[in-house]
Structure 1
């Protein structure tokens, strides 16, 4: 794993653990945001603690995607890298000074 990939991997893990500035932003789809409090808490806990990374779901080693089930429903989370103005992709996702990370949590059927 390159130093750049390792840095992205670590920044993504930090974002999932604490998804608020200065590390990035979190977006919940309407369906996820409208979950009952206990279900939403569990879904977010599973995003924060996700560690089932494999070559199939993390081929680049960046820890930028995960999938899990809660109450028989499949959920996805995905991290995207934007420039600081969120107009374009980040010029360097390994550099937090030029990157805004956005963590999106959704039901799989919303993808």
Structure 2
């Protein structure tokens, strides 16, 4: 039974992460200086590729939470990752499955900026 609960928890985290990534809602999305400095058409292609990324597998998503990935867009290596912070800015541990207590922050950066 605990495995089922953990699987449900991870599926919830993945759903919430996908929602942020696709809609930009319920969190913040930050572009690194390198991505922000790309030509507009390339930057648009990067954002679209991150939004529509669906190639999750055991290698790039071992925990099934859809919280980061590496991809190439117009010869630019792109990394995006989602971090979790307490909404009340406390130092308490956060639960990424509980959207009422955490703020999701996705950062999109060039591979060389990681």
Q: Give the equivalent residue in structure 1 for 2:3.
A: none
Q: How many residues align?
A: 109
Q: 1:39 aligns with which of 37, 42, 47?
A: 42
Match of 2:24 in 1: 19
Residue 15 of structure 2 corresponds to residue 10 of structure 1: yes
- Are 1:98 and 2:108 matched, yes or no? no
> Superposition RMSD on alpha carbons, in Å?
1.5
Please give the per-residue CA displacement for 1:25-68, whole angstroms capped at 9, x wherever unaligned.
00110110111110110000000000111111100000001111
- Secondary structure of 1:67's partner? strand
Q: TM-score, normalised by structure 2?
A: 0.89
Say whether 1:110 aligns with 2:113: yes
Aligned to 2:42, the other structure's residue is in SS state helix
Using structure 1 for the length normalisation, give the TM-score. Answer: 0.91
Q: Which runs of 4+ in 1 moved over 6 A?
A: none
Question: What are structure 2's unaligned runs of at least 5 residues?
Answer: 1-5
Q: 1:70 to 1:41 in 2, by over 3 A?
A: same
